[in-house]
Amino acid sequence: MPADRNTPSDQENVPLLLQGDRFEDTFRQSSVDYQRRFRAQLRTLPSHLPEPALVTFTSAHDAEIDRLSLELGLQGYPLYRIDADDCADHRLVLDPDAGTMCIDGLLVRPELLWIRHFMPNAIMVNGSAVVSRYIRDQWTAVLEIVREWPTTHINPPASRRASRLAQLRQAAALGIRVPDTVLASSAEEAAAALTCPPTELIAKVAGDHFVQHEPGQVTGVFPRRVPAAASATEPVPLLFQRYVPHDREVRVFNVGDELFAYEVRKSDPRDVWAQPEAVAVTAVDVPDRLAEPVTTLLGCTRYAFSGFDFLITPDGTPVFLECNANGDWTWFERGAGDDRVSRAALHYFTTHPALSPTAVRDFRG
């Protein structure tokens, strides 16, 4: 949660979602990955033989992969991890024809491939502005090649890139209620399009909720109610949604075909970072009226891991907001004091037909 808050002294020309108190944090830039640390002892195959494994492209701060690496490693299931933070310092040979990756001299066959939090702006680069931009741009292109890799992807690459607006349109076409939404460069224009006062709008980014302006340093750009004074033109269009009166929010995770729900109660969208003590998270059974829309959406996305966000109106109607394809769950588990999703994730990988344990040693001590 928040490490610091910063209020800009001059709010003229400051984008709406960067105005007022800001969520600012420093992401960990060095992985605590268990298998990476003990790779020499864990690997039992010669370096020239491809080791069947789960390979993930992510960032050093990925707590979900930290835990999976440890739990899978203890049971002998290999996980190879490429973090954006230090990827420029590692050696890779990608051979899609052979279906293998050579990572720092070790040959791997990605039987499962999971692209998660690999953000090019997290890449540590020592060089000029031109060199830095070159390296980050080219890693973006490399990631697109990885998305096309001929293997089993945890989340299919094509559907993973669906925008929030495309998700909403798809849900509406399936008969699932969604907020009235428009992409616009100002609250006034959005209000005119949605025929409501600007103060009845919620503004949110079309892309990622974090701005990683330099490696390790992030600023949150979270949804917020549009204030009465908001009239400036935004430098990039925002998603504006008509506010939906609701009693609570529900996040539904899927791990394969299993569903897990967490109820979140807060007074304002920004409370998650501005007043975390005022946010209540509770593990609940999947509400009957949510099971069908989530299952319907999963039939379209074919995600193995994801998190679906819904508002629940006073009469119990679910309103779909978005699907998080990464399905980060540790924040919800900490708030609710349970580990249902973590245990399901471990079971998913240890029983997946594409994976089998390769380590023969017991490293549990």
pLDDT in tens, the chain (365 residues): 344 445 554 445 789 888 887 888 777 777 889 999 898 788 888 878 999 999 999 999 999 999 999 999 999 999 999 999 988 888 898 998 899 999 988 999 999 999 999 988 888 888 788 888 888 888 988 898 899 899 999 998 765 567 889 899 999 999 999 999 999 989 999 999 999 999 999 999 988 888 877 777 888 888 999 988 766 788 888 999 999 999 999 999 999 999 999 999 987 777 776 677 888 999 999 999 999 999 999 999 889 999 999 999 999 999 999 999 888 999 999 999 999 999 999 999 999 999 999 865 555 54
Q: Which residues of 323-361 are buried (b: 16+ CB within 10 A; e: fewer)?
A: bbbbbbbeebbebbebbbbbebbbebbeebeebeeebee
| Helix ranges restricted to H, the chain | 34-37, 39-42, 63-74, 129-147, 157-160, 164-173, 187-194, 271-274, 288-301, 330-336, 340-350
* Whole-structure pTM value: 0.87
- Give the angle 246-273-1 at the CA atoms, nearest 5°: 130
- Between CA 44 and CA 76 the distance in angstroms is 10
Strands 248-255 and 258-265: antiparallel
Closest CA to 222 of 19, 61, 8, 27: 19
Secondary structure (DSSP) of 132-180: HHHHHHHHHHHHHHHHT-SSEESS-HHHHT--HHHHHHHHHHTT-----
- Between CA 244 and CA 46 the distance in angstroms is 58
Per DSSP, 286 falls in state P
